[in-house]
Structure 1
Amino acid sequence: MLSFDHQPVKKYLYKVFESLDKLESKIAFYPSIISLLGLVFAFFMIYLESQGVSKYLVEHAPILVVNNTETARSLLTTFIAGLISIMVFSFSLVMILLNQASSNFSPRVLPGLISNRRHQIILGIYNSTLLYCIFTLVSIAPTGDKYQIPGFSVLLSIVFMTLSLGAFIYFIHSISQEIQVNTIMDKIYKKSKTRLETLIENEQHHDTTFEDTSNWNHVMADSTGYIQDMSLNALADLAEEHQLKIEIVPIKGAYVLKGIPILKYKGNSDKALEKKLGETITFSNSELIEDNYILAFKQITEIALKAMSPGINDPGTCINAIDYLTELFALRMTKKDESYYFDDNGNALIFIKTVSFEQLLYNVMAALRTYCKHDIIILQKLFLMLQYLLQNDEVLNEKYHQIVVKEIQNLEKDALDNHSNEADIGIIKSCIERLRQVNTSGYEI
């Protein structure tokens, strides 16, 4: 009996599924697929017309057939010209949306807007209908009797054009919603929340020890870019096959330079194995929240900072951004700082470095303190956020409360140093006093 090694097949399938997942975020993915379907359907209708479908319908259901050659040509020509105009207008609106989002909010939100599936499908409907109408027009015989006219195909082009007009109306409605900053932040929040909840659900909440990795073998990066994704399934298969323990050195989403360590493994040094291990790491020049929830904190923080810039001066948007950050931080406090991949027996095979809660909270608060410390309204909102986190009963690690207390002290110092008005100082001190009253963490504010 022939033996078959499933490992190469599994690794290949992992890479195929991951590649398809990344392609889905490209703006041309769905338009290309739907346009191809429109082209295939056009050739299918040409084949049916050659088999006499229009002749049959003229005899049995004449209402379903456009019988006049000039009418058919006029309709199709008008549809083609109209669809080109609609497509140009729609693409212009998309570019305006991306430009405005980049200048008013943050360039980091662009990948999320580009990957909007609804807009991709609408653009695909336009293009597929356009291709269908072009090939149907070409198939009209220049001479001959009425049965040589693709009458049923022309009727279908009217249906498709009606569908395109409906999609255009929906597109105008959708684009007007997408440009609103609250809609952008809400989508960022929901994507990050879903990703965080998935990680927390898959997390095994028990103490895990991982041995010292300082003397392990290294796998170097063979290219430069952001670590977009890690194929943990393929990495675990290699670990089990070769009896390895693995540490992923950079944090997911970090920018990695060629030639620096990306993996450490415990086992015999093997260049072929190192090449296979390195292939499980995907590099990219773009970042998506679906792959890395940390991006949501960065993007919402950047929107808040941009709103507080002198050119925009929109404290209301900053307050809304802090509300979303509060909910995300509260959810992050239910997650462990260390992440592991376990085998079926519960043994830690892979150690995954992640951004700690302390580092995450400090990075966000440092930026907000720097750019918002002059606004007393924003300061009150930040104190309320820290109060909510301090009172969070679902916290996984009590050390998180100590981290929150430390940020309260940092915010208090910056706030008092940047305000000389007695009324403002009184509000800051009252916020601190309220925090002391509700503080039950055991750490002194």
Structure 2
Amino acid sequence: MSDWLVTQRPHARRGPRALSPLREHLRDTFWFAPTAAMVGVFVVWLGAQALDTAIVDALREDGDYETLDELLRFAEDAKAVVSAVGSAMMTFIGVVFSISLVAVQMASGQFTPRVVRLFVRSRITKATFAVFLATFVLALLVLTAFDSADDPRDVTTLPLVQSILTLCMVALSLLLFVLYVNTTLRLMRISHVIARIATESFRAVASMPPHTGGPDSPDLGSATAWVPHEGRAGVLRDVHIARLVRVARRHGVVLRLIPRIGDFVVPGTPLLAVHGGAVPPLGALRYTTSVAVERTYHQDLGFGLRQLSDIALRALSPAINDPTTAVQALDRIVQFLAALTRQPLDVALHRDREGTVRLVQPVPGWTELVDLGFTEVRGCALASPQVSRRMLAGLDDLLLLAHPDRREPLLRHRALLRQAVDESASNATDRAFALRPDRQGIG
């Protein structure tokens, strides 16, 4: 079967915008949100302090020392509250950190170590840490703004707005703590973890350029030059598609990515093939690819299937023996493959504004994705009729949805599963039961 190519016409409806990988990289870090929150709260504190100073100056100019005396007594009470907030926030931060560690440890042990990324990428977890740290920093800053003067005539500033802002941050922290506990408990349930993996996987599908009935792959001819990988060895995490397209357009060439996203690359191996001209300056190609120690969802079409398969394999291991979890993973595997039954695969073509192909990116093909989703699970499903029945039902559903050219790997897996069950089952009744398709496994 010829490769199905992803194309895009210059004046057709544009697909999802190719985002910079920086956004996804920041989502995979845990330091950015708390750091940004602490810097932001410092700026807000400076504004609140200036406002408090302006209020005190206005009252002194009007000679309203009676109001200043009342505000001074209010500030003394607020100081006790702010001091208590400052000491309590560190305890809250320790509790949140402990809950996170326990949740991560349980998830990596019961599901797969690769689901730890879900906890790192959790927005509510980052928001909770960020607001807690910002509240603690704000409490310390507000404590430094209290005036020690007892006479209202000697008061130069009172942290009135700052104290109110601190109380608002405390209320926000309590609300986020409740949401954080609820979210963490959800992430410790396998059904929600599997659903999150599927959601992230569909984002990778949505980021692919749409097929709009354009021409087939252009005849690139032989490569005129090669760009080797420079830097550390690791997994090709993602590429900056928009920047590579701009560089290729500016220099009148077509760039072809050699490894796929998720491949392990070592220094010196070919990274990009150049067609139709000389190699663009290396400075222009700098920071267009990202290599790290592990894969991400951003542009990796098969990473979600890899995790779902790992969860099913872990559930079917003798140590856990949880076929129901494997069935839940198969539900999402079938859902993901069903969305790709008629999706162009094998290679993605990225075009410039004039519609000229500038970047050719390899992506997993249909057969590879089907094998990734079913091969290893099928090998471990022989002792669990629940899993074999669910897999057969899923393969039958995919056969109804798939293009005729894509049915061969599905038929192959169904035949291999039937053959393996026939060889392993002790009698005809058990074989017939294990080979009866059931979308619930044993419904």
Tell me the TM-score normalized by structure 1. Answer: 0.85
The equivalent of 1:3 in structure 2 is none
Which SS does the other structure have where 1:67 is aligned? helix
**For the structure 1 residues 375 and 40, does the alpha-carbon distance in structure 2 shift closer, same or farther, using more than 3 Å as the test?**
same
The answer to whether the 8 Å contact 1:232/1:280 transfers is: yes
The equivalent of 1:50 in structure 2 is 53
Mapped partners of 2:20, 2:419: distance in 1 = 50
* Counterpart check, 1:239 vs 2:248: yes
Could you tell me which of 359, 367, 388 is aligned with 1:350?
A: 359
Alignment of 1:208-223 (within 5 A): 208-211=216-219, 215-223=223-231
- Structure 1 unaligned segments of length 5 or more: list them: 1-13, 433-445
The equivalent of 2:13 in structure 1 is none
- Structure 2 unaligned segments of length 5 or more: list them: 1-16, 439-443
Mapped partners of 1:55, 1:128: distance in 2 = 30
Mapped partners of 2:394, 2:31: distance in 1 = 40
Could you tell me which of 119, 122, 145 is aligned with 2:125?
A: 119
* Counterpart check, 1:133 vs 2:139: yes
The equivalent of 2:337 in structure 1 is 329
For residue 17 of structure 1, report the CA deviation from its aligned partner.
Answer: 4.4
Could you tell me which of 77, 80, 90 is aligned with 2:86?
A: 80
Alignment of 1:227-376 (within 5 A): 227-270=236-279, 273-274=281-282, 276-277=284-285, 279-337=287-345, 338-376=347-385
Which SS does the other structure have where 1:374 is aligned? coil
Mapped partners of 1:56, 1:398: distance in 2 = 82
For residue 154 of structure 1, report the CA deviation from its aligned partner.
Answer: 2.1
Amino acid at match of 2:30: I
Mapped partners of 2:429, 2:70: distance in 1 = 78
The equivalent of 1:442 in structure 2 is none
1:260-317 C-alpha deviation (Å, 9 max, x unpaired): 11111124444x6355336422222233223323111011111111111222222111
1:210-259 C-alpha deviation (Å, 9 max, x unpaired): 43655542111102222121122222222222221221111112111111
The equivalent of 2:148 in structure 1 is 142
Amino acid at match of 1:23: L
For residue 389 of structure 1, report the CA deviation from its aligned partner.
Answer: 0.5
Mapped partners of 2:225, 2:184: distance in 1 = 51
Tell me the TM-score normalized by structure 2. Answer: 0.85
For residue 150 of structure 1, report the CA deviation from its aligned partner.
Answer: 2.1
Amino acid at match of 1:22: H
Amino acid at match of 1:111: R
Which SS does the other structure have where 2:407 is aligned? helix
The equivalent of 2:4 in structure 1 is none
The equivalent of 1:11 in structure 2 is none
Which SS does the other structure have where 2:291 is aligned? strand
1:330-384 C-alpha deviation (Å, 9 max, x unpaired): 1111212232123445443322111111011112222102222221111011100
The equivalent of 2:430 in structure 1 is 424
1:109-148 C-alpha deviation (Å, 9 max, x unpaired): 1222201112211211111111111111111123333544
* Counterpart check, 1:377 vs 2:386: yes
Mapped partners of 1:379, 1:31: distance in 2 = 46
The answer to whether the 8 Å contact 1:53/1:152 transfers is: no
If asked which structure has higher relative contact order (CA below 8 Å, sep 6+), I would say 2
Alignment of 1:86-125 (within 5 A): 86-125=92-131
Could you tell me which of 8, 13, 22 is aligned with 2:25?
A: 22
Which SS does the other structure have where 2:274 is aligned? strand
The equivalent of 1:38 in structure 2 is 41
For residue 94 of structure 1, report the CA deviation from its aligned partner.
Answer: 1.2
The equivalent of 2:441 in structure 1 is none
**For the structure 1 residues 54 and 227, does the alpha-carbon distance in structure 2 shift closer, same or farther, using more than 3 Å as the test?**
farther
The answer to whether the 8 Å contact 1:235/1:280 transfers is: yes
Amino acid at match of 1:79: V
Mapped partners of 1:358, 1:189: distance in 2 = 19
Instruction: Give the CA RMSD over aligned residues.
Output: 2.9
The answer to whether the 8 Å contact 1:30/1:124 transfers is: yes
1:79-115 C-alpha deviation (Å, 9 max, x unpaired): 1111111111011111111111111111111222201
Amino acid at match of 2:36: I
For residue 328 of structure 1, report the CA deviation from its aligned partner.
Answer: 0.4
The answer to whether the 8 Å contact 1:64/1:155 transfers is: no
Mapped partners of 2:393, 2:67: distance in 1 = 70
Which SS does the other structure have where 1:202 is aligned? coil
**For the structure 1 residues 319 and 60, does the alpha-carbon distance in structure 2 shift closer, same or farther, using more than 3 Å as the test?**
farther
**For the structure 1 residues 143 and 229, does the alpha-carbon distance in structure 2 shift closer, same or farther, using more than 3 Å as the test?**
same
Amino acid at match of 2:396: Q
Mapped partners of 1:218, 1:380: distance in 2 = 49
Which SS does the other structure have where 2:213 is aligned? coil
**For the structure 1 residues 400 and 66, does the alpha-carbon distance in structure 2 shift closer, same or farther, using more than 3 Å as the test?**
farther
